[in-house]
């Protein structure tokens, strides 16, 4: 089933907050308790990195920001496409200067629950994981 592009942007906020473990703050101002994805425990987030609505908004902006790549052409959303369930259809994702990466972009859906991140599992937190694609020479190649 192909995702509906009209729903992709509205789904993004939920994906980002779930991926970053910020779901409780995505529903600020609502009297209803924040929903927990069916069958999953409450979304975990680090005690030493408390979440705020401002952090959620910043995370959404950074997810779409191509200025994070060395040539200002690639954002996280370039490969983790909202209209493709936050992955892409390519066997190998393309980074800066249309270079092929080592893998395809895995989905970021429910990433907050993953005990290990990246294809080889070398990252144990979302805060650590983000540095790898940003600095990878064929992904975003930004070492500034």
Residue 89, CA atoms < 13 Å, CB-side half-sphere: 4
Share of the chain above pLDDT 70, in %: 74
Please compute the mean of the pLDDT values over residues 33-44 and round it to a whole number. Answer: 71
Q: What confidence category does residue 37 fall into, taking pLDDT thresholds of 50, 70 and 90?
A: low
Residue bearing the bigger pLDDT, 21 or 108: 108
Residue 18 has pLDDT above 60, yes or no: no
Query: Is pLDDT above 60 for 5?
Result: no
| Domains and their CATH numbers in the chain | 5-32+50-135 (1.10.760.10)
Token readout for 11 is 């789904």
The yes-or-no verdict on residue 137 having pLDDT over 60 is yes
- The label of the residue with tokens 């952090």 reads 55
Query: Given a cut of 50, is residue 101 above it in pLDDT?
Result: yes
Residue 111 contacts by C-beta under 8 Å, 6 or more apart in sequence? 18, 19, 117, 126
pLDDT at 35 over 50: yes
């Amino acid at each position: 089933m192909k995702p509906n592009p009209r729903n992709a942007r509205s789904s993004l906020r939920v994906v980002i907050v779930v991926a970053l473990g910020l779901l409780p703050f995505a529903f600020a101002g609502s009297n209803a308790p924040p929903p927990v994805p069916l069958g999953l425990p409450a979304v975990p987030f680090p005690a030493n990195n408390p979440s705020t609505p401002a952090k959620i908004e910043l995370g959404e902006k950074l997810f779409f920001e191509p200025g994070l790549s060395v040539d200002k052409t690639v954002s996280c959303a370039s490969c983790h496409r909202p209209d493709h369930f936050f992955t892409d259809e390519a066997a190998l994702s393309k980074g800066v200067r249309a270079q092929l990466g080592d893998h395809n972009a895995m989905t970021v859906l429910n990433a907050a629950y993953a005990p290990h991140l990246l294809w080889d599992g070398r990252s144990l937190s979302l805060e650590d994981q983000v540095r790898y694609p940003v600095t990878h020479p064929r992904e975003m190649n930004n070492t500034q």
